[in-house]
Structure 1
């Protein structure tokens, strides 16, 4: 890069810095009109130093760098303001922006303070085609706010280098709001060029409300903690479960480590909405430990998930024709990991097959190669021996709903769940379930339509599956119980969350 180009680059960076400082100055109550960027920075730094307000320091950091500070970033800035002159303290922060080789490429970014609407973090659902438990919740809930509440919230995702929030692209909006009725061609998110990264527009929550609708990625947990702790923004979370710690033996170590960092956000959140009484109790247990750290922690509220399925799912299940002469179908839906207990279900199916019962059992759910390899080998061996057993790792929604349409019953004998959508979806589609007799699964099953078992008792699982294969009267009784149920709607669930978030 020539000397002239470097000079132009620095001039552009200084101009962008001045523009950002003009955005944050009114929020900090400082008049910077008519000042150069250096003078603006000096005046703002002195004001923040005198106020000793951590929220003001947080916002000034964002104004200077166009990135969200980590807790360490902010602590360093506040200490520097006490140890040195404000101008000197800001120098290191300013250098981060002025460095044209900066890894974050943030120097030319613009920022916008968001205070009058609810920001909803839907990062994973926006970027990826994955659609299991958490994604199903978000893609059912958020579209319910698209009507009369559309002006009251903004959907955000993390930018490519995970240093700030940005608006969703049209494709990402489609992925979140129109999953069952996609309006744009499906395609991967583009990788931004260096030029695009450097000119991104960053949405900054400032004394606002932020709903984190998913479990965030590990690398943004610290920035979210800083937002919750220092920015003056009320951070609310949907609490799915505490499985990665409470049942750490059933998940990969990386999941437990990520969740431990997620709990740091929980410490400083305003409110956690447990998706079941069981899930909420897990978070209450954690919050009860926080006074030992001098923290009060968030309020934890039970907001039980909806139990209905979409019209698309119902239609896909209803168009399938059941052949009365074919063997009954047993369906087991769930990602493949130890706590889902599919090994026990497969064992029970093998034993029933050896007893001479005719049926076809179908497992549907993804999982890591390490988790699925042994199971899939067993399935292949049993299939080769004549047993009708299948395991599908990638199955579209319409195919999945079609399987519900032909299933005689489903099996979901998980050892630990935050809610248990496969049970709720099975009942909503009129299919009886064999499921566990404790925790969140008991909350769903106790309304009827289920045979409940101790999931650690292989014999109990075998007996329940045998009953639903052979006892037509018992099967009919469960169908009658299901017919009396009125599933909770996603509109109702979305309304409850919205009312709480905006209270």
Structure 2
């Protein structure tokens, strides 16, 4: 394959005057990475355009991908196609690609890596460790609305991977303001290093991609279309790939055609498909023409022949076909959503519904469209020049490389002080969900050099924060929690919190008060004011809104205290939500009560790592002659122990021959003493049930290792940490079929049931206890399913904390 002859590394070259950059720019070696390089895919197209531009500017370009049509990068640069073992899921593919890329980047170290997305997110994040600039052109992850089954699981995993890796990428370049607002900022967690660069529209002026299954000249097709048009048959082009399901909503074009034919009988609909995927309805067969996969020159001519283009897509991050159509001064209709308002030539072309699209199509075909449309299309012809897009991308590459070569951070290098509010974890002897998050997260954050943690507790009597005392330090360090040496040092020198902060403060970044716990002492707003009064920023973790959404499961004191906690939470600068479910609950609550949300919110799934225990990656062998089932959960109403016990009685009554044992682990809940009493009664009545109360991490680990699978009967959660912890330790889990539990279960190694129905619980218990093959398969999956570590989680939180920027004050 022909290759650009590289200049000596580090040589200077003169930039062409049209580049818009400085006269002299250092030659660079750039690696472009993407899953594929194939014809007619949007991201593939823009990466090839970027590569050609960079080569024209004198840079050397190489490609790495998983699938490639070798004709696309021909004459641009070397292509490496990675070989990935079959059967890997999305996360495992990311890890395997990252492993292969480490070797690739060592053998041929570039100055910058430019990524089109999965499965190279982890690679771009790791580039910084090797002194390589990293950039991601963010075309967005597909919307999840209406998705089910494997497609939904895949998209959720993609968003999770983005949120894990994007904070560590140098530059992120969303292709529209819509993508920037809806995905880039939420997934990255902050605005630093983000620049929206709209794509171009004039790429079809020069054929870029080779032909597919169409005649390269396309002469026969174009002659047929021209003949139809001359005979009075107006032509409509269905824009983009035709997909029978998903957000493309391609089949809606048939509804438009069916209705338009009533007014314009001779109309024809052109579809970019060879007949494999489009499933043409029989009543429309005579009015649909299949185009196959024409080359660029043919498609351009087709667009020029057509009267109008239709884009019924329900989500688009930019929409190439629309701007391609408009560049040729042809109108394109689309729904008023996604990035369409940014790229459409005139607001009239935006449709509110299919009915609206039908009406406007008829008006265009019958020459009744607004007269100003043609003027708008004339303007749009010059609105999206690729030269501007490519130059802006090159500017970002040069800037990122210059930053890495300088060896200087772009921001204040001094570590940021984080006041870690551990008011509850410093006195709670147990290790329930929120306490586990607090202890494990701060234990990992403490190891990050860019942060300096100061552990504090709120003194409600003195109305101020204080450093921890000896007993509080000991309680915090339980269950693998952090060791607070700073307060011990302050104690030895008789320093209070204010004096300690003055002593350790360096740099210019304001400290951040970080509250990972739920504040139910009524002092949420007071704590917030304490931090604001000292010019600190504020951040928190949102766990759930259960006392608001499901008050029947909560103690009356918690219900009474929760609105005040939420009101304070809304005023924080930054919030990490543990799930999309909790995020949506908060936003729904603010909407219902017409409350402003000051905070920026980023959804970040919790880690599934059990304490500091290593992951069990090989399926454990059966150790018992009986099946052992484990339930780890606090004894409170929503955890639904009552239904579990009822199901267990049914199972024991119907299957007295089944050798099975249930172990219950969990702390008492002061607001529901009846649950503890019910468990005690069950233990007294049935020798197959045992209750162990609160266990140390080691004792609980031993209990997990002695069981065959777990059950988590909770009905409502913000996240459901015990589910992933069970899988971390190689034990499949039975869980509820709704809410966030179903979301966690969707990636495998779990069985779901309606946990409100004891009969369903009984059935799924019996099934997993008696089907050895099923249990073996699920155990295998639990050992291989991708689960984040606390270190992974802390890396994301730590990066966000280090990059938080001071907000401008608002006037209430």
The answer to whether TM tops 0.5 is yes
> Which residue of 741, 745, 756 maps to 1:456?
756
User: Within 5 A, what are the aligned runs for 1:58-137?
Assistant: 117-137=417-437
Deviations 1:465-488 (A, max 9, x none): 110111111111211221321320
1:23-71 per-position Cα deviation (integer Å, ceiling 9, x unaligned): xxxxxxxxxxxxxxxxxxxxxxxxxxxxxxxxxxxxxxxxxxxxxxxxx
Instruction: Tell me the secondary structure at the aligned position of residue 353 of structure 1.
Output: helix
Structure 1 residues 308 and 431: alpha-carbon distance in aligned structure 2, compared to 1, 3 A threshold: same
State the match for 1:297 in structure 2.
598
Following TM superposition, by how much is the alpha carbon of 1:133 offset from its aligned partner in structure 2, in angstroms? 0.6
TM-score normalised by L of structure 1:
0.67
Question: CA 1:157–1:181 in 2, change beyond 3 Å: closer, same or farther?
Answer: closer
Partner of 1:353: 652
Alpha-carbon distance between aligned partners in 1 of 2:745 and 2:705, rounded to the nearest angstrom: 20
Partner of 1:483: 783
CA distance in 2 between partners of 1:232 and 1:333 (Å)? 42
The farther-off stretch of 279-288 and 450-459 is: 279-288
Aligned-residue offset at 1:437:
1.6
Q: Distance in 2 between matches of 1:121 and 1:428?
A: 28
Larger Rg: 2
The structure 2 residue matched to 1:255, chosen from 545, 555, 558, is 558
Partner of 2:699: 399
Tell me how far 1:383 sits from its aligned partner. Answer: 4.0
**Aligned counterpart, 1:310:** 611
The alpha carbon displacement at 1:153 in A equals: 3.0
Match of 1:324 among 617, 624, 642: 624
Q: Structure 1 residues 177 and 380, CA, compared in 2 at 3 Å: closer, same or farther?
A: closer
Match of 1:166 among 441, 461, 466: 466
Quote the residue 1:87 is aligned against: none
Deviations 1:137-192 (A, max 9, x none): 011111112224375332211237351112233554454356338989xxxx9xx9
- Asked if structure 2 preserves the Cα contact closer than 8 Å seen for 1:120 and 1:210, the reply is yes
Question: Could you tell me how far 1:301 is from its partner in structure 2?
Answer: 1.2
Cα distance in 1 for partners of 2:574, 2:648 equals 43
In 2, Cα distance between equivalents of 1:169 and 1:150: 26
Figure out how many residues of one structure are paired with residues of the other and give that number. 372
Structure 2 residue 709 is the aligned partner of structure 1 residue 409:
yes
Corresponding residue number in structure 1 for 2:588:
285
Between the aligned partners of 1:333 and 1:463, the Cα distance in structure 2 is 20
SS for the counterpart of 2:539 is: strand
1:256–1:382: structure 2 CA closer, same or farther, 3 Å change rule? closer
Mapped contact 1:306–1:493 kept (Cα < 8 A): yes
CA distance in 1 between partners of 2:599 and 2:728 (Å): 33
CA deviations 1:67-94 (Å, max 9, x no partner) are xxxxxxxxxxxxxxxxxxxxxxxxxxxx
- Normalized per residue, which structure has more helix? 1
Paired with 2:702 and 2:478, the residues of 1 have a C-alpha distance of 20
Distance in 2 (CA, whole Å) between partners of 1:377 and 1:215 is 27
Q: 1:462 to 1:256 in 2, by over 3 A?
A: same
Q: CA deviation at 1:234?
A: 2.4
- Displacement of 1:275: 0.9
Contact 1:228-1:268 at 8 Å conserved across structures: no
Do structure 1's residue 333 and structure 2's residue 632 form an aligned pair? yes
Give, in whole Å, the separation in 1 of the partners of 2:665 and 2:607: 22
Aligned partners of 2:753, 2:788: CA distance in 1, in Å? 24
Equivalent residues of 2:546, 2:717 under 8 A apart: yes
Q: CA deviation at 1:338?
A: 1.2
Which structure 2 segments of 5+ residues have no match? 1-414, 503-508, 804-812
Determine the structure 1 residue equivalent to 2:512.
Answer: 209
**SS of alignment partner, residue 144 of structure 1:** helix
Change (3 A) 1:380 1:128: closer
Shift of 1:303: 0.9
Distance in 2 (alpha carbons) for counterparts of 1:494 and 1:301: 14
Residues 326-357 of structure 1, C-alpha deviation per residue, up to 9 Å, x if partnerless? x2211111111111111111111111111112
Taking the aligned partners of 1:452 and 1:433, their CA distance within structure 2 comes to: 9
The answer to whether 1:234 aligns with 2:537 is: yes
TM-score (norm 2): 0.42
- 1:175-232 CA-to-partner distances (Å, cap 9, x unmatched) read 4356338989xxxx9xx9xxx9xx9554789964211121124142231243466654
